[in-house]
Structure 1
Amino acid sequence: MFARPLAALVASLVMTLPAAAQDTESRVPTNGIEYNVKTWGNPQSPAVVLMHGWMGTSHTWRKIAPGLAADRFVIVPDMRGYGASDKPESGYDAVNLAADIKGLLDHFGKDRAHIVGHDMGALVSLAFAGTYPDTAISMTWLDEPLVGWNLEEFTAYREETYGGYWHFGFNTAPGLPELLLEGKEQAFVDWIVPLMHAPNPDAVTAEDRAVYAASLMSEGGISGSVGWYRATFETARQLRALGEAGVDVPMMAWGGQYGVPVSHSQMAVLSDDVRGGVIEGAGHLLPEETPEFLVRELSGFFTQTEVE
């Protein structure tokens, strides 16, 4: 297995990254494994959990977390299978990932929190809201198909989606990502990440991509990164069941014009009162492309739902 210690790789990059208002970084036991978790803000403030998606790490939220930390305690994990968190062979379905997050909140002594997810992290936000409704103050869904309802529309092999969602099949093929990406992690990240955001070289820089490649290069990093995809159908069944049972948590959803623009409208199957919409000019990587907008919208949504 081609691997380098993640800590050494990230350490070599830190000196080139802009300073951030990061308070702490710690290892937290949860649900039988250990997570690497960054936190910002006052631990006595209302909690927010920010969950990244595929090809991301806690670094995804570097432009968002400091902006939310003035009024809230912001918890930003490397999700199971990513970054410096453990990378077990199993446990990547959304309900189990939600249990991981519940364990983090228990560790920090938080019985309620705002839950925010981007990409496949959005699936976990819904799983969390449906499984722990008394814990979720709100849930926010950022740029992701509503797996359990419309996955087939995105992955169908037809002209309008040709070449667009190939990664679902690629990532679920037994052993194929490990075979083809090992030793080519940086090249893969450098190729795919620019395809995921609207043209803007400052959204995700070469230094940022190096952080994401380091996650793949770590032991078990490739398998961990695709674990979520290999649990897609289990997650789809879970979310459908939770949605049909009813998810009574305030919701907000945003999609990028060039990402998954239906991210907001698709949520109508869950609630007739979902805040949000389409972010014009944005691609898929909303936390990195539109941080000022999201900090403003999230802050307002959090304040509103805390008093509802």
Structure 2
Amino acid sequence: MHFSFIQRLGSAFLLALAMLAPAHAQEPKSNFAEVNGVRLHYLSAGKGDPVILLHGFAESSHMWRPLIAELAKDHLVIAPDLRGFGQSAVPQGPYTKSVMAQDVHALAVSLGIKSAKVVGHDIGLMVAYAYAAQYPQEVNKIVLMDAFLPGIGDWTKVWLLRDLWHFHFYGETPLALVKGRERTYLEHFWNDFAADRTKSLSEADRKFYALEYAKPDHMRAGFEVFRAFEKDAAEFAEFGKKKLAIPMLVLAGERASGDVLIEQAKLVDSQVEGVKIKGKGHWLMEEATSEVVPKLVQFLK
């Protein structure tokens, strides 16, 4: 009887500890909002100084979970699925990065966020820049993570230099070819854009994203994001005429964007800190988690 009482007491103590556990130890909350004419899904966690995390192609808000767990200790973290991705709606268009940024801004406004720190990887960094360029008074820090800025500097040599085919891979025939083979298509990015394909995305994440991109119309949306690059370039060239003065951190994989993104960033912002992640490729959150997450947490504080 005495032993049973101790067991019950111990269980009660553990339950109390669990109830007192900080919010950041919990899973981020899944939410939906109707903003800017589109239904967006987003993850949220923590409270305090707002941080908005913007994913790239071949991923979704899911990519940010390791970072959300750390940032939520001190920040309100919002990680949306961009239009056409993840659990967000898939409108016909447009898929210019300025419009995608307007979606995210409308979400921020709906949540009462008047100023935020914005982080973007891949396509997400283009959206992050478009957000800062359109709403410079509402961004107090910005992070660009490995890709490029269309329309800035000698940008055609950046994206024409490698894998030109996938930027023009859209329309009925490409969609028919990829249908049912979404993972085969995505493996090209996960493997060939990594410094070491065996240290890129995990098998669990590959399965997760393959299912997300196999949803009706989702691959078309992904193709439209690439198709919009020429329009993005024209808009970014205009944005770039007015240089930002926002503290900006640029993280680039040494074996991916390297110096190119850092130099582009310096053309559009006067307060750039550029960091090359040695020996790593494009998938910085997965390839260099232990290096990248602390750097982001430090910069965003």
Q: Please confirm whether the aligned pair reaches a TM-score higher than 0.5, indicating the same fold.
A: yes
Please name the residue that 2:280 is paired with: 282
Please name the residue that 1:270 is paired with: 268
Q: Structure 1 residues 190, 155: CA separation in 2 closer, same or farther (over 3 Å shift)? A: closer
Write the deviation string for residues 114-156 of structure 1: whole angstroms up to 9, x where unpaired: 1111001111111110101111111111111221123310243
Please name the residue that 1:227 is paired with: 224
CA contact (8 A) 2:243 2:270 kept: no
Counterpart check, 1:70 vs 2:73: yes
The Cα of 1:234 is off from its aligned counterpart by 1.2
Please name the residue that 2:167 is paired with: 168
The Cα of 1:191 is off from its aligned counterpart by 4.1
Q: Structure 1 residues 21, 201: CA separation in 2 closer, same or farther (over 3 Å shift)? A: farther
Please name the residue that 2:155 is paired with: 151
- The 2-side partners of 1:191 and 1:228 are apart by 17
Aligned partner of residue 269 in structure 1, secondary structure? helix
The total of aligned residue pairs comes to 275
CA contact (8 A) 1:83 1:214 kept: no
Which residue identity is paired with 1:180? L
The Cα of 1:96 is off from its aligned counterpart by 0.7
Please name the residue that 1:31 is paired with: 36
CA contact (8 A) 1:253 1:275 kept: yes
Structure number, greater radius of gyration: 2
- The 2-side partners of 1:187 and 1:129 are apart by 35
CA contact (8 A) 2:122 2:147 kept: yes
Aligned partner of residue 39 in structure 1, secondary structure? strand
Please name the residue that 2:21 is paired with: none
Counterpart check, 1:107 vs 2:110: yes
Identity of aligned pairs, percent? 28
Please name the residue that 1:183 is paired with: 180
- The 2-side partners of 1:107 and 1:25 are apart by 16
CA contact (8 A) 1:87 1:221 kept: yes
- The 1-side partners of 2:73 and 2:50 are apart by 12
List aligned pairs for 1:116-131, cutoff 5 A.
116-131=119-134
- The 1-side partners of 2:263 and 2:26 are apart by 35
| Mean Cα deviation higher: 70-79 or 141-150 | 141-150
Write the deviation string for residues 195-217 of structure 1: whole angstroms up to 9, x where unpaired: 22221635411110111111211
Which residue identity is paired with 1:217? A
- The 1-side partners of 2:224 and 2:164 are apart by 17
Q: Structure 1 residues 269, 184: CA separation in 2 closer, same or farther (over 3 Å shift)? A: same
The CA RMSD measured in Å over matched residues stands at 1.7
Q: Structure 1 residues 283, 202: CA separation in 2 closer, same or farther (over 3 Å shift)? A: closer
Higher relative contact order (CA 8 A, sep 6+): 1
Write the deviation string for residues 148-181 of structure 1: whole angstroms up to 9, x where unpaired: 123310243xxxx3x53432122xx433431210
- The 2-side partners of 1:180 and 1:253 are apart by 36
